[in-house]
Amino acid sequence: MGSGKTTVGKILSHVLGYSFCDSDTLIEQEVNGMSVAEIFKLHGESFFRKKETEVLQRLSSKKQLVVSTGGGAVVRDVNWDYMQKKGIVVWLDVPLEALAQRIAAVGTHSRPLLHYEDGDPYTKALKRLSYLLEQRGKNYAKANARVSLEGKLGYRDVSDLTPTEIAIEALEQIEVYLKEEDGMAIAGL
């Protein structure tokens, strides 16, 4: 949450000339225009996760599409089948401090898993994000490409890159992945 999936995904779709969709927005449309926060409150997280899987399944056969998922889409194994059926999954691996700063700046109301009624939003978000990363880290690592401090732009903190710079780096990392795939196919692996 806060890594820039929604923002960067839109830019990436423009650069590629692809369509764009955000799985959270599709879920909201499906559930009578309720917000993600309202869906969590009224129906619970497991209902939301079911809807998320349905949406990803529906999108999995489409081509020339950039999908920004929610940050929790990595948790269910079946989602990986859908995301990787035709797709390349990119992990925007942004340091937790930057995520918490962004979330605190926009407010936590739209992100129920980070929302607390009291306390300092930055500190609370940082703690919760760090817990989620512990839980989900292995799943994020299954991505085909990763934009991170370890990437080509490692000399600059990834949290200082603009969304457009992140989109460009994502494209470069996708290219690296595709070349590796090609190499493996040629080597018969």
Ligand X SMILES: Nc1ncnc2c1ncn2[C@@H]1O[C@H](COP(=O)(O)OP(=O)(O)O)[C@@H](O)[C@H]1O
Ligand Y SMILES: O=C(O)C1=C[C@@H](OP(=O)(O)O)[C@@H](O)[C@H](O)C1
Q: Which residues bind ligand X (CB under 6 A)?
A: 1-7, 68, 102, 106, 161-163, 166
Nearer to ligand Y, 87 or 178 (CB): 87
Q: Which member of 11, 13, 66, 70 binds ligand Y (CB under 6 A)?
A: 70
The b/e string for 4-32 (b: 16+ C-beta within 10 A; e otherwise) is bbbbbbbbbbeeeeeebbbbbebbbeebe
Residues 99 and 105: beta-carbon distance below 8 Å: no
Q: Pick one of 62, 65, 98, 112: the residue that binds ligand Y (CB under 6 A).
A: 112
Closest CA to 57 of 28, 27, 32, 17: 27
Beta carbons within 10 angstroms of residue 120's beta carbon: 10
The sign one gets for the Cα dihedral 83, 88, 93, 99 is: negative
CB of 148 to ligand Y, least distance (A): 17
Please report, as ranges, the residues that interact with Mg ion according to CB under 5 A. 5-6
Among ligand X, ligand Y, Mg ion, none, what does residue 4 contact (CB within 5–8 Å per kind)? ligand X
- The entry of ligand X, Mg ion, ligand Y, none near residue 161 (CB within 5 to 8 angstroms by kind) is ligand X
Asked if residue 107 lies in contact with residue 86, where contact means CB atoms within 8 angstroms, the answer is no
From the number of C-beta atoms within 10 Å of its C-beta (0-12, 13-18, 19+), residue 131 rates as exposed
Note whether 163 binds ligand Y by CB under 6 A: no
From 85-93, 94-102, 111-119, 175-183, span contacting ligand Y (CB under 6 A): 111-119
Shortest CB 62 distance to ligand X, Å: 20
Which residue's CB atom is positioned nearest to ligand X?
4
- For ligand Y, the closer of residues 51 and 168 by Cβ is 51
Which stretches of the chain bind ligand Y, using CB under 6 A? 1, 5-6, 24, 36, 70-72, 111-113
